[in-house]
Amino acid sequence: MSGAQMESTEVLLRVEGLRKVFHTSSGDVQALSDVSFDVRRGSLMGLVGESGSGKTTLGRCLLRLVEPTAGKVIFDGMDITRLDARGLKAMRKRMQIIFQDPFSSFNPRMRIRQIVGEALIAHGIGRSRRERDDIAAGLLEEVGLSADHLSRYPHEFSGGQRQRIGLARALAVEPEFLVADESVSALDVSVQAQILNLLQDLRDRRGLTILFIAHDLSVVEYLCDEMAVLYLGRVAEMGPSEAVYGTPAHPYTRALLSAIPTIDTARRCGRQILTGDIPSPLSPPSGCVFRTRCPHVIERCGEVVPKLTALSGRHQAACIRIGAFKDQERPVPEMLHLARLREEGD
């Protein structure tokens, strides 16, 4: 197999130099700047970053629910930023997104049968109501609900069950790629774990490729094969999860990880408290956007925009000081103590 062929089977989605500027009355919001990454076919990729870092905007740009200002989104070899309305409709059957709170997107007066059936009708799936009901029942079972639920209304379900209904509706069109936008952040941890396990099962069973958007790095660690860390509209670090978690390189990733109280992360990163707020995307800092909160900042950080640099394999980070500060950081004894207490409590 040639290099190009190998690439076409491995990479389902390629993002190149993606930029999104929102023009608002208070100025131009730089929501995404020069974002590039690949999503490998059949992988579960996590996208993390603080509120306002551009995660939802990125997820929406991938499906062109938000129009990118510049850059390419290449899905299975096709640049979707160039598709006309018809091409886009066909593409949307292959790419689906589920949102933070699926309840808000359900019509409360519709039964689950109609909610899932609507998606089937929109894409011409199922010839009769009977056939669509059968398909919908199968989908509900696939997401851990049952056919009995078809005649119920959204308010009759728990938050976790509503997530599952949203998932069933997204799966109705048999997509190849799914963006799950923080679909579990509002739920408690055990429910989150169940949904995440379900996504993993679906990935394995259906060969789905999933981009999972989350605030919480501890959740993503156990779930995702690959991950990308976004800060103020730029990728700070990305790569296979073991690499990003095992040997985090960017000061921002290290700070995020050190906030998770486990023995492991405390050992890897020491404790770093991120101070200050994320700067306004109306006037992002010059050079490295993280420099205003970085414990390792030097003058040059204000002068050059750091490029993503390969560390090992696909692991990359965008920082001009990588390697210069790793050894200065030591685990903080009380963090280890806290982690031990937690473990004993389990």
Ligand X SMILES: Nc1ncnc2c1ncn2[C@@H]1O[C@H](COP(=O)(O)OP(=O)(O)OP(=O)(O)O)[C@@H](O)[C@H]1O
Taking CB under 6 A as the criterion, the residue among 11, 15, 18, 29 binding ligand X is 29
281 binds, among Mg ion, ligand X, none (CB under 5 to 8 A by kind): ligand X
Is the Cβ of residue 59 or residue 117 nearer to Mg ion in the bound state?
59
Q: Where are the alpha helices (DSSP H) in the chain?
A: 3-10, 55-62, 85-94, 112-122, 129-142, 159-171, 189-206, 217-223, 241-246, 251-258, 263-269, 333-345
Under the criterion CB under 6 A, does residue 26 sit at the interface with ligand X?
A: no
Partner from ligand X, Mg ion, none contacting 248, C-beta within 5 to 8 A by type: none
Q: Which stretch binds Mg ion (CB under 5 A): 54-62, 120-128, 275-283, 298-306?
A: 54-62
Contacts of 156 (CB under 8 A, 6+ apart): none
CB of 213 to Mg ion, least distance (A): 7
Q: What is the DSSP string of 178-194?
A: EEEESTTTTS-HHHHHH
User: Which does residue 51 bind out of ligand X, Mg ion, none, counting CB within 5 to 8 angstroms by kind?
Assistant: ligand X
- Show the binding pattern over residues 205-224: x = contacts ligand X (CB under 6 A), - = does not: ----------x---------
CB atoms within 10 A of CB 174: 14
Read off the tokens for 43.
């992988």
Listed residue (267, 277, 226, 272) closest to 253, CA to CA: 272
Q: Go through 70-105 and write b for each residue having 16 or more CB atoms within 10 A of its CB, e for each that does not.
A: ebebbbbeeebbebeeeeeeebbbbbbbbbbbbbee
Q: CB of 318: closest distance to ligand X in angstroms?
A: 17
Q: Which is nearer to ligand X, 31 or 91 (CB)?
A: 31
Does 279 interact with ligand X (rule: CB under 6 A)? no
Note whether 54 binds ligand X by CB under 6 A. yes
Residues of span 138-157 touching Mg ion by CB under 5 A: none
The verdict on 272 binding ligand X (CB under 6 A) reads no
Other CB atoms within a 10 A radius of the CB of residue 148 amount to 10
Give the one residue of 51, 104, 128, 146 binding ligand X; rule: CB under 6 A.
Answer: 51
Q: How far is the CB of 56 from Mg ion (least distance, A)?
A: 3
* Contact call for residue 57 and Mg ion (CB under 5 A): no
- CB-based burial of residue 108 (10 Å sphere; 0-12 exposed, 13-18 middle, 19+ buried)? exposed
Nearest residue (CB) to Mg ion, 56 versus 161: 56
By the rule CB under 5 A, 56 interacts with Mg ion: yes
Give min distance, CB of 22 to ligand X, in A: 3
Single out the residue of 43, 48, 55, 154 in contact with ligand X (rule: CB under 6 A). 55
Instruction: Identify residues 154-193 at the interface with Mg ion (CB under 5 A).
Output: none
SS3 254: helix
Counting contacts by CB under 6 A, is residue 146 touching ligand X?
A: no
- Measured between its terminal Cα atoms, the distance across the chain in Å is 50
CB 194 within 8 A of CB 160: yes
Longest dimension (CA), the chain: 68
Q: Which is nearer to ligand X, 234 or 254 (CB)?
A: 234
Q: Which residue ranges make up the site for ligand X (CB under 6 A)?
A: 22, 24, 29, 31, 49, 51-57, 215, 281
Binding residues for Mg ion (CB under 5 A): 55-56
